[in-house]
Structure formats: structure tokens, C-alpha cells
């Protein structure tokens, strides 16, 4: 690396920076970017020198290890290892002298990019990948032509630059064509992380309940021993417990925020199943019997059935806390769950619960096996506990709706009747979110079925459940999220608040529970179309986001302040709860803050100290020359003191009891090229100090000698020597 090493170092900076930013995020990567710039500059300036840099390299590695352990306690293993790898790259830059070192560095950045592509959920990953790809290509091309130059196989650098430019343009065009227009196959089952979160979801009481039986089934615990056992539940009690689901949610469009709730990584769209309801009073849905069975996890894993070879893995990452924060939203028919905790709960309808509210950035994975009947998903666990509960109709239920149900489902099997009702609702009614923000009030379902013919998904699902029950088919309403908004840039499904959805599960004799989708414009999750290319998927993704934008309107300054105030109050309440729950959590939070702030301040201080250490000599020279130039004729002592500060900065302080001539003799040995000037100036200083009766020396000549001495330059003391001098009380 002799002639093209500058281009190689510049390209390597872009390679490493783009890889670090992609894997750690822009804010967290700032420290590493500064460290990369410094390390590459150090390697470039010391390229021709043979000095040993192992001490500096080991110091950086030690710093990375010191930061690794506290980060391991506060974050996940993977993010801690990635940060450690970033420090390893910085340390390797220090001794970057051979091509083998260069290849090892490229290999490290490739690992960072692989991690980023598996975990990054922002579309900005495409920019980082583009920069990484182009800079890596330029780096390898520069390195190749540098080899040719050293072997005298090419004569001019212009050949390398021209070839590099043409090659970059051609590869960029081909890569863009392949990425955007060539059909993409189904993604392989790689890059998935099992589970992780800010803390493990522990609960001593749940764990005790799950293990208190000697080989017997865990005790079933009811949230409310009175109202939930009754056939006719108490709406007020259920509302307080969060077990109700209103037909017409009271949501103001001006205050509605369409936040991201989850990210999902997987091979095809899914419906994430949440709460299931069996009782309807005409205005809201409720659960009549919420029985929770506690289940122990072994090493953050629990199996519900034997995993099939055809099963697919899905990872769900929590971005913001949904309304029912303790629910573990999962696709239908999971055979295995990887969750960051020791115990979970499951109700009789298959819904899973965490002991505590899900925290942001937590993630869990599931193995899913698809079971179908007549192109409808079928639940593996298909037990009908109480048929009467799933045939309940509200008091004074509309006779017109019952008559319509009998008219539609007048023949065939239960499956055929269910599909007929589903088809009728899908073909004759229009989906609209207007009814969410502008409820229709009393007799909303009757108005939906016989007058308006449009409404949101709760209207469709509730109508189908009640119509199925009218023809003696057990049915229930399921609430969850529709994970179909696919971002082809990141490879993740983005799940927003507007993706909250309701659908139907009906019990078919000799088949079990089967899912139905009565809402028009929605389609039950099918296998992702493998023939789509990125441009088609990107157009669909943008179109979906545009449709959502109309429900995210400007809300006014005061309402924004009010919402932010509520958010702050909620955050404070959560912090108080966390401190009360565990002092250790609070200590981790404080330690995390102090460590990160301390790291930034430490690197800022080291950077400032490095600049001072490197360039302070120019400052001292300028100050000394200015002071001497301003001295009057007889102010030789001021000239002497100014020069004394300059020499002290170089490490040549005037010792106690040392005469000017003795000091001049020592300085002459240290700066032999200025020996005559040093002797002349300090001889004059000695005569002025001890022989005042002698003839005065020309003041202008002394000033001229002093200004010449200001031109003395010397490499400042090393970092370790300077620290020793500070500890010994010497001048900085």
C-alpha cells in the first residue's frame, strides 16, 4: 500500500462507518465514527513507520471489553457483541499495514451488515447498504490496482480511476435492476433471534402457582371469582379489568395517533391473535370466563406441540405498548414460543399473557404451522368447552337480523353455511373507518345491515358472529392485528394502530374452530406471493401508508401539549412502578445513563486532549513570539520568562538553583542546531542578572535572539509522560 493507500483508507472509512451506523443506529454510532476517523488517520500517518503500536491497540481492546460487560447487563447479548466487534475494528485500524489486515477488517464489517439486515427495521437501511456496497467495491478495486502498480503492470493511476468509475456505474445499474425488477423468492428461515427485552418478564406468584402441584395440572386461577363465573357477566366489572371490547370505540380523529405497535419478521402475512370474546350485550363484547393457566418456560422456551418440518418462524418486536399491554400477540397455531421470561399464562381460548406489560424493544419468536380447511385457517386446539356460551344472543336481539341469517344460511353443512354468511357480508357491504370516528349509536348493527351498508371491521365481525349463532353455529369474536403491511426495503411487516382488526372463529362439528374473514377489502393471510418484485411491493407499501395518513390529522398545539402531558405522566407512573417493583431496575437505568453520558464526555475529553497534545506547540510559539515582540528595551526578564514557558512545554524546565549559563548548556545539548543563539542570549541574561555594572547589551539584539529561539520546535512529550508530569506537579 504505497501509492494508492490514501484512497484505500478513505474507502475503508465509508465501509466501516456505513456498517456501524446500519447495525447500531446513527446516534449510538457517533462515538465509533469518531474513533474510526482517529484510528484510520493514525494508521495512515504511521504507515511507513515500523514502530510497535500493540500497546495502543490493546488499550482500545481493553476499553471495548470494559464497556461490554455493563452493556451486557442492560441490553441484549447480540447488541453487546456487535458493539464489541465495532471496537475490535477500531483496534485493528491502528495496526493496519498489510492487505491481510485489510481483508480482516472487511470481514468484520460484513458481519455487522449481516446483523443489520436481520434486525434493522427502518427504511434507511437501504441507504446504508448502498453506501456500504459501493464503498466496499471501490475499496477492493483500489486495492487491486494498487497491487498492479506495485508489480509495475500498470503505469498511471488514471487507468485505475477510469476503470473504477465505469465499473461502479455498471454494477450500480445492474444491482438496481436486480433488486427492483427481478422477482424475489421466499426468504430463508435465517436471521431470526429467539427472544429478548429490557428485562426478563418474571413473576414470583405466577411461578409459584405453576409449580405448586406435585405432578398435577396447574391450578386455574380466575381474575374475578364472582362476576366471571356468572353466565351474565357484569359489564362494569369487566370494563375495569379490560375484558370488554366496545362495538363502537370512542376515538377522536383529531387526537388519534397511528403509532407503530409491532414489527413482524416472517415469510408471509399473518393475523396476530389477541383477545377472544364470547358474550355480547348489544353494545360491547366481553369474556364470560377468563381462566388463566400458568405455564413454566424452560430457558425462555415452551413447546405446545411437536414442531413440524413445514412450520415457519416469526419474530414479533414490540415498538409501542398496545392497549392490552399484557397480551402476547401471536399467529394462529403456534407450536413453540420463545419469550424473555420464566412463566406465562394461557386462557381457555388460547390467548397468551405475560406477567407484566410488554416493554418497548422486547421481542419474541414463535414457530407456526398452517392448518387449512376450504382455504380457511383451522385451529389446532379446537375444544368446545361450553356450546351454550357461544350461542348467546343479546336481549331483544333484532328479529330482522335473525331472519336474514336464516335466509342466507338455509342449507348445507355448518361449514357451507358459515362460508355463505361470510360471502354475503364481503360482497354486499363496504369497509370504512368513518364509523370508528363517528359512531352510529343505537341499533348500529341493524343500521349497518339494512341501511348504510358500510362500517368498520367490528360491524362485519359482530354481524357474522350473531348471524352464525342465529342458525345454531357456535361462534366468537377475535381481536388482534392485521400484519400485512410489508416493507420490502427492511423485510419486516409493520403493524400500526390502524391495523387493529376483528375477525370471526366458528366451531364446525367434526372440524373444530375455523377462522373467517367477513370484512371486505381484508383477506385471510395466505402465503406471500413469491413472484412479486421489490418495485411492486414498494408501491403497495407506499399506497398503504398513504391510506393511513388521512386518519392522522393535525390536532392543534394545546391538544398536542395535553397528549404529551399524559405521556409524561404515564412515563413517570411507570418509573415509580418500576422502582417500587425492583430497585435494581432503577439502578440499571441510572447506570445506563451515567455510562453512556460518561463515555461521550470521556471521548470528547480525550479528543480535545489529543488536539491540545498535538498542536499546542504552535500555540505556545505564537504566544511567546507575541510577548517578546511587545517587550520594551530593558524588559529582558520578560523575554527570559516567556522563553522559559516555551521550553517547559517541551519538557525542559528551569531547575531550582540553576543559573542561566547552566540552563543554556543543557538546552544546547537538547537543541544543538540553535546552540550559538542559546549561548548568546543566555550569556546576555547572565550578565544582566549578576553583573549590572557591566556595559548595557543592545536590547534589539536580545529581542532578535529571543525571536529566533521561538522558532525551536520539538515533538511534545508522549501521553504517558505528560500524565506523569501532571501527577508530579509539573506544568501542563
Residue-wise pLDDT tens digits, 403-445: 999 999 988 999 999 999 999 999 999 988 777 666 666 678 9
Q: How confident is the model at residue 401 (pLDDT cuts 50, 70, 90)?
A: very high
DSSP assignment, residue 201? B
H or E stretch at 295? strand 291-296
Q: How far is CA 443 from the centre of its chain?
A: 46
Pairing mode, if any, of strands 376-377 and 327-328? unpaired
Parts of the chain belonging to CATH 3.10.620.30: 195-549
Instruction: Cell 479528543: give the residue.
Output: 607
* pLDDT greater at residue 719 or residue 678: 678
Residue 2 has pLDDT above 70, yes or no: no
Helix axes 583-629, 557-581, angle to 10 degrees: 110
H-helix or E-strand spanning residue 662 = helix 660-670
Task: Show the CA angle centred on residue 199, arms to residues 198 and 205, nearest 5°.
Answer: 150
Q: Measured between alpha carbons, how far is 509 from 718 in angstroms, rounded to an integer? A: 84
Instruction: Look at the block and give the residue holding cell 473504477.
Output: 164
Cell of 199: 428485562
Which three-class secondary structure state does DSSP give residue 627? helix
Give the whole-number percent of the chain exceeding pLDDT 90. Answer: 21
- Provide the 3-class DSSP secondary structure of residue 483: strand
Q: Give the span between the Cα atoms of 376 and 560, in whole angstroms.
A: 43
Q: 434 is written with which cell numbers?
A: 368513518
CB 121 within 8 A of CB 317: yes
Q: Are the beta carbons of 245 and 479 closer than 8 angstroms?
A: yes
Q: What is the pLDDT of residues 353-370, one digit of tens each?
A: 998 888 887 889 999 988
Please tell me the distance from the alpha carbon of residue 502 to that of residue 274, in angstroms, as a whole number. 10
Task: Considering only CA atoms, give the Rg of the chain.
Answer: 37
Q: Specify the DSSP element, H or E, that contains 663.
A: helix 660-670
Q: Which of 60, 142, 138 is nearest to 93 (CA)?
A: 60
pLDDT band for position 247 (50/70/90)? confident
Q: How far is Cα 65 from Cα 683, in angstroms, rounded to an integer?
A: 56
Q: Which three cell numbers stand for residue 575?
A: 418509573
Q: What is the pLDDT of residue 507?
A: 95
Residues forming a β-bridge with 179 = none
pLDDT band for position 502 (cuts 50, 70, 90)? very high
d(CA 29, CA 22): 9
Closest CA to 260 of 450, 520, 497, 23: 497
DSSP reduced 3-state for 273: strand
Mutual orientation of helices 636-649 and 675-690 as an angle, nearest 10°?
Answer: 130
Please report the pLDDT score of residue 591 as a whole number: 67
Of all helices (H) and strands (E), which one includes residue 537? helix 534-549
CA angle 617, 618, 623 (to 5 degrees): 100
The stretch 375-397 carries a mean pLDDT of 86
- Residue 544: pLDDT band by 50, 70, 90 thresholds? confident
**Separation of alpha carbons 419 and 21, rounded Å:** 50
**Whether pLDDT at 564 is above 60:** no
pLDDT at 192 over 60: no
- Asked whether 299 and 353 are in contact (CB, 8 A), the reply is no
Question: Looking at residue 691, what is its pLDDT?
Answer: 58
Taking phi over 0 as left and psi of -120 to 50 as alpha, with beta for the rest, 531 belongs to alpha
Q: Kindly tell me the number of DSSP H helices and DSSP E strands found in the chain.
A: 22, 24
Q: What is the pLDDT of residue 571?
A: 45
Say how far apart CA 550 and CA 432 lie, in whole Å: 12
The CA-atom distances, in angstroms, between 620 and each of 167, 317, 663, 664 are: 50, 56, 20, 20
Would you state the pLDDT for residue 550? 61
Q: Cell numbers 537538547 correspond to what residue?
A: 670
Calpha distance 583→527 (Å, rounded): 47
CA distance 271 to 235: 28
Predicted confidence at residue 320, as pLDDT, reads 77
Provide φ and ψ at 49, rounded to 5°.
-90, 150
Look up cell 377472544; give the residue.
Answer: 276
Question: How many alpha carbons lie under 13 Å from residue 633 in its C-beta half-sphere?
Answer: 3
Look-up: residue for cell 362460508? 419
Closest CA to 688 of 704, 670, 702: 702
Q: Alpha-carbon distance 373 to 103, whole Å? A: 54
Question: Could you tell me which residue, 188 or 424, shows the higher pLDDT?
Answer: 424
Report how far residue 645's alpha carbon sits from residue 642's, in angstroms, rounded to the nearest whole number: 5
Q: Per-residue pLDDT tens for 93-145?
A: 888 877 788 888 999 999 998 888 777 777 778 788 888 888 888 888 777 77
Q: Could you tell me which residue, 427 or 74, shows the higher pLDDT?
A: 427
- Work out the average pLDDT over 260-270: 88
Q: Which of 503, 171, 508, 546 is nearest to 373 (CA)?
A: 508
Q: In the numeric block, which cell numbers belong to residue 459?
A: 360491524
Whether the Cβ atoms of residue 446 and residue 401 lie closer than 8 Å to each other: yes
Class of the 195-549 domain? alpha beta
Sheet-wide strand order for 500-508: 270-277, 475-483, 500-508, 512-516
Rounded CA gap, 471 and 461, in Å?
Answer: 16
Encode pLDDT of 277-331 as tens digits. Answer: 999 988 899 988 778 899 999 888 999 988 777 788 888 888 877 766 789 999 9
Average pLDDT, rounded, for the chain: 77
Smallest CA-to-CA distance from 542 within 184, 22, 123 is with 123
Residue 699 CA to residue 242 CA, distance in Å, equals: 93
Query: In terms of Cα–Cα distance, which of 357, 365, 369 is closest to 320?
Result: 357
What are the helix (H) ranges across 582-635?
Answer: 583-629
Amino acid at each position: 500500500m504505497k501509492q494508492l493507500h490514501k484512497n484505500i483508507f478513505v474507502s475503508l472509512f465509508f465501509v466501516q462507518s456505513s456498517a456501524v451506523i446500519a447495525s447500531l443506529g446513527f446516534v449510538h454510532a457517533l462515538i465509533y465514527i469518531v474513533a474510526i476517523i482517529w484510528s484510520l488517520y493514525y494508521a495512515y500517518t504511521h504507515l511507513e513507520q515500523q514502530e510497535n503500536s500493540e500497546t495502543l491497540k490493546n488499550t482500545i481492546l481493553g476499553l471495548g471489553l470494559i464497556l461490554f460487560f455493563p452493556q451486557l447487563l442492560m441490553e441484549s447479548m447480540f447488541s453487546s457483541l456487535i458493539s464489541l466487534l465495532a471496537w475490535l475494528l477500531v483496534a485493528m485500524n491502528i495496526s493496519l499495514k498489510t492487505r491481510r489486515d485489510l481483508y480482516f477488517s472487511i470481514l468484520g464489517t460484513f458481519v455487522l451488515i449481516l446483523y443489520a439486515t436481520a434486525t434493522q427495521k427502518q427504511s434507511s437501511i437501504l441507504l446504508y447498504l448502498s453506501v456500504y456496497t459501493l464503498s466496499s467495491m471501490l475499496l477492493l478495486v483500489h486495492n487491486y490496482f494498487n497491487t498492479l502498480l506495485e508489480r509495475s503492470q500498470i503505469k498511471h493511476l488514471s487507468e485505475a480511476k477510469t476503470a473504477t468509475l465505469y465499473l461502479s456505474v455498471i454494477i450500480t445499474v445492474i444491482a438496481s435492476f436486480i433488486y427492483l425488477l427481478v422477482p424475489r423468492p421466499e426468504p430463508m428461515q435465517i436471521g431470526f433471534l429467539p427472544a429478548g427485552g429490557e428485562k426478563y418478564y418474571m413473576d414470583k406468584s405466577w411461578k409459584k402457582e405453576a409449580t405448586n402441584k406435585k405432578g398435577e395440572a396447574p391450578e386455574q386461577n380466575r381474575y374475578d371469582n364472582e362476576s366471571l363465573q356468572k353466565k351474565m357477566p357484569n359489564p362494569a366489572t369487566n370494563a375495569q379489568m379490560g375484558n370488554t371490547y366496545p362495538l363502537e370505540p370512542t376515538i377522536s380523529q383529531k387526537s388519534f395517533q397511528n403509532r407503530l405497535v409491532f414489527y413482524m419478521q416472517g415469510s408471509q402475512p399473518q393475523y396476530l391473535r389477541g383477545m377472544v370474546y364470547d358474550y355480547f350485550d348489544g353494545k360491547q363484547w366481553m369474556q364470560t370466563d377468563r381462566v388463566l393457566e400458568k405455564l413454566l418456560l424452560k430457558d425462555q422456551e415452551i413447546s405446545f406441540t411437536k414442531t413440524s418440518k413445514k412450520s415457519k418462524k416469526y419474530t414479533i418486536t414490540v415498538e409501542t405498548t398496545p392497549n392490552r399491554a399484557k397480551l402476547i400477540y401471536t399467529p394462529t397455531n403456534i407450536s413453540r414460543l420463545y419469550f424473555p421470561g420464566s412463566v406465562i399464562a394461557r386462557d381457555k381460548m388460547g390467548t397468551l399473557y405475560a406477567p407484566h406489560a410488554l416493554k418497548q424493544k422486547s421481542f419474541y419468536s414463535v414457530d407456526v404451522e398452517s392448518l387449512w380447511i376450504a382455504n380457511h385457517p383451522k385451529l389446532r386446539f379446537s375444544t368446545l368447552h361450553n356450546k351454550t356460551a357461544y350461542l348467546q344472543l343479546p336481549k331483544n336481539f333484532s328479529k330482522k337480523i335473525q331472519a336474514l341469517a336464516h335466509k342466507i344460511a338455509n342449507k348445507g353443512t355448518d361449514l357451507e353455511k358459515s362460508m355463505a354468511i361470510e360471502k354475503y357480508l364481503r360482497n354486499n357491504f363496504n369497509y370504512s373507518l368513518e364509523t370508528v370516528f363517528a359512531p352510529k349509536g343505537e341499533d348500529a348493527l341493524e343500521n349497518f345491515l339494512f341501511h348504510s351498508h358500510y362500517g368498520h371491521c367490528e360491524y362485519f365481525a359482530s354481524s357474522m358472529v350473531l348471524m352464525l349463532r342465529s342458525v345454531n353455529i357456535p361462534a366468537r369474536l377475535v381481536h388482534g392485528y392485521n400484519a400485512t403491511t410489508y416493507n420490502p426495503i427492511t423485510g419486516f411487516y409493520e403493524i400500526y394502530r390502524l391495523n387493529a382488526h376483528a375477525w370471526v372463529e366458528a366451531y364446525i362439528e367434526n372440524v373444530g374452530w375455523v377462522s373467517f374473514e367477513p370484512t371486505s377489502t381484508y383477506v385471510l393471510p395466505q402465503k406471500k406471493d413469491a413472484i412479486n418484485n421489490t418495485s411492486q411491493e414498494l408501491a403497495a407499501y407506499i399506497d398503504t401508508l398513504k391510506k393511513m395518513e388521512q386518519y392522522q390529522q393535525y390536532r392543534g398545539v394545546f391538544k398536542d401539549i395535553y397528549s404529551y402531558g399524559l405521556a409524561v405522566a404515564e412515563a413517570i407512573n411507570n418509573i415509580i412502578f418500576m422502582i417500587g417493583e425492583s430497585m435494581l431496575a432503577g439502578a440499571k437505568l441510572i447506570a445506563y445513563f451515567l455510562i453512556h453520558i460518561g463515555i461521550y464526555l470521556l471521548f470528547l475529553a480525550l479528543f480535545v486532549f489529543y488536539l491540545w497534545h498535538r498542536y499546542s506547540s504552535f500555540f505556545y510559539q505564537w504566544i511567546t513570539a507575541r510577548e517578546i515582540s511587545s517587550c520594551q528595551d530593558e524588559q529582558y526578564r520578560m523575554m527570559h520568562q516567556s522563553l522559559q514557558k516555551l521550553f517547559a512545554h517541551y519538557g525542559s524546565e528551569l531547575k531550582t538553583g540553576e543559573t542561566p549559563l547552566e540552563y543554556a548548556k543543557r538546552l544546547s545539548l537538547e537543541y544543538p542546531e540553535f546552540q550559538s543563539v542559546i549561548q548568546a542570549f543566555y550569556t546576555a541574561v547572565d550578565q544582566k542578572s549578576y553583573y549590572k555594572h557591566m556595559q548595557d547589551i543592545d536590547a534589539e539584539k536580545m529581542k532578535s535572539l529571543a525571536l529566533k529561539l521561538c522558532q525551536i520546535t520539538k515533538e511534545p512529550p508522549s501521553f504517558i509522560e505528560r500524565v506523569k508530569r501532571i501527577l508530579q506537579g509539573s506544568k501542563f
